Amino acid sequence: MKKNIRIGLFGFGAVGQGLYDVLKKSEGLSASIEKICIKDPTKSRKLPSKYFTTEANEVLEDKSIDLIVELIDDAEAAYTIIKKALILGKSVVSANKKLLAYHQKELIQLQNEYGGSLLYEASSCGGIPIIRTLEEYYDNESLRQISGIFNGSSNYILSQISQKNVGYAAALAEAQEKGFAESDPTLDVGGYDTKYKLCILANHSFGLIVQPEEIFHAGIAHISSLDFKLAKQRKQHIKLVAHGYKLPNHRVALWVLPELIGADHPLYAVEEENNAVVVEGAFSDKQLFLGKGAGGHPTGSAVLSDISATTYDYKYGYKKLNFGTSKKLDNNLAIEVYLRYNSPKVLEHLPFLEVADEEAGRVIGTTTLEALLNAKQVLENDKAFIASTGKISPVKQQKVLTQFRKRVGVH
Ligand SMILES: NC(=O)c1ccc[n+]([C@@H]2O[C@H](COP(=O)([O-])OP(=O)(O)OC[C@H]3O[C@@H](n4cnc5c(N)ncnc54)[C@H](OP(=O)(O)O)[C@@H]3O)[C@@H](O)[C@H]2O)c1
């Protein structure tokens, strides 16, 4: 039975205001924003000042407020807000993937202990309803793989450069202006935002909870015209792609890398700020979910859907997490990459199993996720650009290390 809902909102930025607009136009939902907690009391707002406060407790402890909607851009502050709300027995809707990626276990436990629910559809792929789809539709089907373009801002930048010949800095500025980018754009272009979403979706897809640091990720911050030239020669597009890939014996490999993809790939034509998720089930085969991954209104729409779900007491069942054998992260996966580096010293730190093509400053060869994770800081310091060619296979670690020793002359 649907009930009226009184909302305490945290944050009135791109998504908070998007939600306000979306809520005004919603016909079926009986919900009202009662109070809004913001950070800067001097900013001019499009609502009367009586709505605003900078005191979190004024909202959290107001007994007339039954739902907390957290849409701020500070993961640490959001953690404190959400934790307190759940301990007070309130339900919470959030869009904050960083906070969720780091604290999934504890937040699930707080829901179980105090009875409130925490919904976060908007945290992963903006307007695409992927979390509830994984929870409800794929609740019993074993998934082979989940992959996709999870960051609207990076995808927008890649589209502008490759299709409209816009420079990197100008494309990033446009993404920020349009409200697609995070307040700290490193989170988008560095691949962090994509990785946080992968952590959340790994839980709902495979029942695997991991800390972000356990996953290898690379972003598009160091991309150059040389990389687009190579992609063009190969008749491919470069996309920032997240992967969750099931291995035998309840193991799962997770990674985020720019990827060279051809015209036959379902993500090839995903442009602008769009996101896409490819879900590959054991029986359903591949399904593609496509939609707006960023922006106030698409994201606000996902928040609205969660608000609506709380009116009929919906909670995530965490079915994959609670069902069957526990899953394990395994980075022992061979992956072919294109690496463009600045100093050849990088090669001393990154083992390759096989090299398919090599010339000064770049190599195409097979390494492992584990090796990439170990070389992460070296790659970052070198400002190297690294992209997957899409070829993967399980591998024995010993073989990689042997090859590496031969390559760099270590005995
Ligand atoms: N933008 C998108 O397309 C998008 C898509 C999916 C998910 N998200 C997620 O949605 C959330 C909000 O993003 P956004 O783009 O709307 O951010 P934003 O435009 O930068 O707005 C952030 C809001 O949070 C408020 N705020 C910051 N720290 C606060 C604190 N300690 N207490 C109370 N309010 C605080 C700010 O207050 P002031 O107004 O006073 O500065 C501002 O209103 C983030 O978690 C983001 O990752 C965004």
For residues 195 and 187, what is the distance between their CA atoms, to the nearest angstrom? 9
DSSP type of residue 11:
-
| Residue 51 near residue 35 (C-beta atoms within 8 A) | yes
Task: Using CB atoms within 10 Å of the CB of residue 24, give its burial: 0 to 12 exposed, 13 to 18 middle, 19+ buried.
Answer: exposed
Question: Could you say which of 97, 197, 239, 327 is catalytic?
Answer: 197
CA–centroid distance, residue 159 to ligand 1 (Å): 25
Q: Tens digits of per-residue pLDDT, 112-132?
A: 999 999 999 999 998 999 999
Model's pTM, two decimal places?
0.95
How much helix, strand and coil, in percent to the nearest 5, is found in the chain?
A: 40, 25, 35
The pLDDT, as a whole number, for residue 402 is 59
Q: Are strands 91-94 and 118-119 parallel, antiparallel or unpaired?
A: parallel
Which residues form ligand 1's pocket by a CB distance below 6 Å? Answer: 10-16, 37-40, 43, 71-74, 77, 95-97, 122, 126, 179-180, 182-183, 294-295, 299
Q: Is the pLDDT of residue 178 over 80?
A: yes
Q: Tens digits of per-residue pLDDT, 43-61?
A: 999 999 999 999 999 999 9
Which residue out of 21, 73, 125 has the highest number of ligand 1 atoms within 8 Å of its CB and is therefore the one to mutate? 73
| Residue 39 near residue 14 (C-beta atoms within 8 A) | no
CA–centroid distance, residue 75 to ligand 1 (Å): 10
**Cβ contacts of 157 within 8 Å, gap of 6 or more:** 168, 171, 172, 175, 189, 220
The pLDDT, as a whole number, for residue 288 is 97
Which residue out of 54, 71, 150, 183 has the highest number of ligand 1 atoms within 8 Å of its CB and is therefore the one to mutate? 71
The pLDDT, as a whole number, for residue 411 is 37
Task: Using CB atoms within 10 Å of the CB of residue 266, give its burial: 0 to 12 exposed, 13 to 18 middle, 19+ buried.
Answer: middle
CA–centroid distance, residue 31 to ligand 1 (Å): 21
DSSP string, 188-234: HHTSHHHHHHHHHHHHHHHS----GGGSEE--STT--HHHHHHHHHT
Q: Name the residue at shortest CA distance from atom 27 of ligand 1.
A: 72
CA–centroid distance, residue 328 to ligand 1 (Å): 33
Mean pLDDT, all residues of the chain: 93
The pLDDT, as a whole number, for residue 410 is 44
Q: Is the pLDDT of residue 72 over 80?
A: yes
Q: Pick 343 or 139 by higher pLDDT.
A: 343
Q: Which atom of ligand 1 is nearest to the CA of 41?
A: 40
By C-alpha distance, which of 246, 247, 268 is closest to 259?
Answer: 268
By C-alpha distance, which of 32, 31, 36 is closest to 15?
Answer: 36
105 annotated active-site: no
The pLDDT, as a whole number, for residue 395 is 74
Which residue out of 39, 51, 94 has the highest number of ligand 1 atoms within 8 Å of its CB and is therefore the one to mutate? 39
CA–centroid distance, residue 101 to ligand 1 (Å): 17
**Residue found under tokens 């924003």:** 33
Task: Report residue 372 as tokens.
Answer: 């990439």
